[in-house]
Every structure is written in C-alpha cells, then in structure tokens.
Structure 1
Amino acid sequence: MKADDGVTQPGPTLVVTVRDELRRQIQAGEYKPGDRLPSESRLTQDFGVSRTVVREAIAALRADGVVEPKQGAGVFVLPPSETAPAFRDVDPDRVSSIIEILELRTALEGDGAALAATRHSAAQEEEIIEAYQRLTDLARQNKPTAEADFAFHLAIAKATNNPRFPEMLQLIGAAMIPRRMLNKEGEVPVSPDYVRLLEQEHGAILAAIQMTDPEAARQAMVRHLKNSQTRYRQQLRTGNLTS
C-alpha cells in the first residue's frame, strides 16, 4: 500500500517505534533542549517510513511535552518539564481522598473517551489495543497491572489529540491507579472475578472507540470509573479487591 507521498505505508505500530527512538535520542542528549529535529523528509529517509508515520510520531512526542513544532521553523526539543505538585497530598488511607481522584477522572476521562472515539488515528487505535492486550495478559497471569492500566488510559487521553488530556493524567500521576498505593509492600493482589471485570470494562471502552461511537465510549468510561469508586470503597473496608 502506498501513502500519498509515494512511500510504502507501514503498519501503525511503526509510529511507536519511531516515537520511542526519537525519545531515546533526545534523552541520550543527541538532541538537546532548543535543538531542531531533522526535517520531516530527512526523518522519513532515516527511518524508512512514510511521512504519515513521522507526523504521528512527532504528534505523540508533542502530546508528551517533549517537542514543540513552530510554524515554518521546524520541530524543536523542549526542556524537561517538572510536574506540578498539585496531587501529591493524596492520602490512600482516606476513602475520601481516593474517591476525589476517581470523581475527577470520571469527569475528565468520560469526555476524553468521547473525543478519542472520533479523533483517534489508526496508530493511536493500535496503541490503545496494545495497552489493552498487555493489561489483560498481566491480569490473567496475576501480575501487577497498575502500570499497564495507566498506559491504557493514557493512550486514550493521547487519542483525543488534545495534549491537555494526557498532561492532566500525568499530573495526577500515581494516584491515577489507587490499587498500587493501597499497600506499601506492593500492588494489592486481585481476584479472578476482578480480572474478568477488568477485561470487560476496559474492553467495552476499547470497542466503543473502535466503533467511533463517542456516546458509547463516554458511557463505558464513566461506568468503569464509577464502578471503580464502588470497588475501592469495598477494598478500603475489607482489604480485598474482590469485585
């Protein structure tokens, strides 16, 4: 399959490969804050991919606050950002503190899922699918899932193509997934019933986004996060995440 620029159109996972390699080069100091990245045509040649892949990789780095395109000048590396401490006082020992974050996420991510349903690119959809598959694989193996859970929600936030959504989730940070905060010795184990719920609820969100159905995506996300509020209330009472 040929892209509009005549370059063979690769699978969407190449966007992640290009994004991660550019991020690695930036972190290694090959490109320093203020430096301009090579031109789009040069990156296309260097990576052997289409312009579409390069553009989406740059868009992903922009959403992460790593680079900033400037009209007519190119794409420039930004200084590392410092996360504001707005959510550092979340207390996992207080039910109200956990519920406050989940209520905020419900309002934020409901609209985010709706936007992602209509705005996502093929590459962003692939990233959401990969995150979902990793999340479910870890859950079935009874391995910690908090990081994969965060990655799934962050991928959806990025698919809004509004950088403020992923910025907000990253600002919330560790409090995004309360189960990794509830046990100082490690993530709280989950039951087989919870594993099934995890798959069902996240799967419903993914399916709605794939169908480009914004209202279904909104409802699936809101339902998931409201159910989470109920589950965490139960966990904080009993110490077991059983439903």
Structure 2
Amino acid sequence: MQPGGTQSMVHRISGDLRQAIETGAYAPGTRLPSEKDLTERYGVSRTVAREAFANLRADGLVESRKGAGVFVLERAPLQSPFSGLNVDRISSVIELLELRTVFEVEAAAFAAARRSASQLEKIIDAHRKVAECLRLGLSTRDADYDFHHAIAEATQNRRFPEFLQLIRSGIIPRGELQGAPVGERPRDYNLHLEEEHGRIVDAIIQGDSALARQYMADHLRGSMERYRALLLSRATRTDGENELPARSGGTPHVRHL
C-alpha cells in the first residue's frame, strides 16, 4: 500500500469508529474491535489500525488499557463557547472588547478591500439607522450590532459574521453597568458614536483598508478605555459592585460601542 493510501485508510477507519461512537453504536465503556479485527475487516496492517486508534485517543474518545484493548471514554457534556461569559460584569465587557479589537479591526480592513456594492449599501444603511436612533433618543442596540455585523459580512469570509453572532449577547453592554438608572443614558455615553462610525464607513467606501483598520481600532479602543476607567474607579469597592443587580423588569437602555 502506498503512503498516501495508508493515510487514507487510517482516516477511513478512525472516521468509521468515530461515527459509531458518536451515534451510540459503541457506548462509553465499550471495548472497540481489536487491531486484529480491524486488519481483517479493512485489509490493512496492524500499523494502520494502531494509527487509527491513535487518532481517536488524540480526540479524547478512547483510551488504551494494557492487555485489555481500546475502550470508549465517557465524554464530558460539550460547553458552548462563551457560555461562561457574564455580560453584566465590567471585566467580561473588557475581555470581549479586547477580543473584538483584534477581530473587528481586521474585519474593517478586509471589508474595505472586498465589499460588494450591495454589502456597502447595507453598511451605509446600518450607519444611517444608528444616526436616526441617536437623533430620536432611541436605543441603538440593534442598529449598532447590525452596523458591525454588516462590516463582518463584507469581509467575504463567513466566519467573521458567524463569530460576531456567537458573542452578540455581550457586544452592547447594559447602560446600568456604568451606573445609569434604567431607561437613561449613562453619563459618559458615547456622544461621538455617529462620527466614529462615519469615519469607518468613509474608509470602506474609499476602499482604504489602512484607514478602515485605524478608525475601527480607535472606535473600539475608546470604548475599552472607558470601561477600564470605570473598573478602576470601582477597584476600592466590594467585588459585587463590578456586577449588576438582577433586572427588575423592562428593557433597559444600553450604552453603545
């Protein structure tokens, strides 16, 4: 068997066994077919069978027990990414902003270089909706998210909007996190939101990746600095004041990034 064929069989065997494990054909604690069984079933050498088992061990699906064989492991429940994120804590907001600064800065640069005409129009439309909400004194939570999501879509890389959707719940923090009463804007509400978004839009319209990158970085960095200052101002208080109390009802106004 040629080297390429050997690897192909390794993947085939490990794939078959993985599927059987995931569908429950081999329950946790079950002994898998032996190397000898696999060599006879697939017409391969024991080396190929051993490599297939090695792939499963690397994935945490099985364990080898000396003198007994290979057994299926009990799998821990899968935890959704960011499931432990508490968006009512300033520290969690800062964590997300640090992540977004790396992620969305490059997304803006890609969007400037790759956006289609229809995607550009979607970005402009989202920007206009944010501006309209600001003028009317309405929450810009959804419009603000739509603006950033439209830029992510314009990267022509579907993983960007998928990732943004994954962290959506923490993108626009609650206004009360900054000490504002429910329904009111926080004192340091970003009054330059429309202007900051406008600079990003202009750079994308011009197809200037460097400028788009710079303006998105400035936009997110300003938000991060505000939250770091807020966290520092609470450093001498009790730990609980880094976290919001439970909602008392209604939909609070939010601060926008």
Q: For the residues of structure 2 that align with 1:179 and 1:152, how far apart are their CA atoms?
A: 18
In the TM superposition, residue 167 of structure 1 has moved relative to its aligned partner by: 0.4
Q: Could you tell me how far 1:230 is from its partner in structure 2? A: 1.6
Q: What TM-score, normalized to structure 1?
A: 0.58
CA distance in 2, matches of 1:181, 1:170: 23
Deviation at 1:93, TM superposition (A): 4.2
Does the alignment pair 1:203 with 2:208? no
Q: For residue 149 of structure 2, what is the amino acid of its counterpart?
A: L
Provide Cα deviations, 1:53-102, integer angstroms capped at 9, x if missing partner.
Answer: xxxxxxxxxxxxxxxxxxxxxxxxxxxxxxx7312322234322111100
Contact conserved, 1:116 with 1:159, CA < 8 A, in 2?
yes
Question: What are structure 2's unaligned runs of at least 5 residues?
Answer: 1-78, 235-243, 245-253
Does the CA-based 8 Å contact 2:176-2:186 persist in structure 1?
A: no
Q: How does 1:88-237 map to 2 (within 5 A)?
A: 88-179=83-174, 182=177, 189-190=185-186, 194=189, 196-234=191-229, 237=233
SS at structure 1 position matched to 2:84: coil
Query: Structure 1 stretches (4+) deviating beyond 6 angstroms?
Result: 238-243
Query: Greater CA radius of gyration, 1 or 2?
Result: 2
TM-score (normalizing by structure 2): 0.55
- The answer as to whether partners of 1:142 and 1:189 remain within 8 angstroms in 2 is no
Alignment check: 8 A CA contact 1:98 1:178 kept: yes
Q: Secondary structure at the match of 1:178?
A: coil
2:52 matched residue in structure 1:
none
Q: Given residue 117 of structure 2, which amino acid in structure 1 is its aligned partner?
A: A
Counting matched residue pairs gives 159
Cα distance in 2 for partners of 1:103, 1:126 equals 28
Unaligned 5+ runs, structure 1: 1-83
The 8 Å contact of residues 120 and 154 in structure 2, kept in 1 or not, is answered as yes
CA offsets, 1:36-68, max 9 Å, x none? xxxxxxxxxxxxxxxxxxxxxxxxxxxxxxxxx
1:186-209: per-residue Cα shift (whole Å, max 9, x none)?
665256x74541011111111100
Contact 2:127 2:198 in 1 (8 A): yes
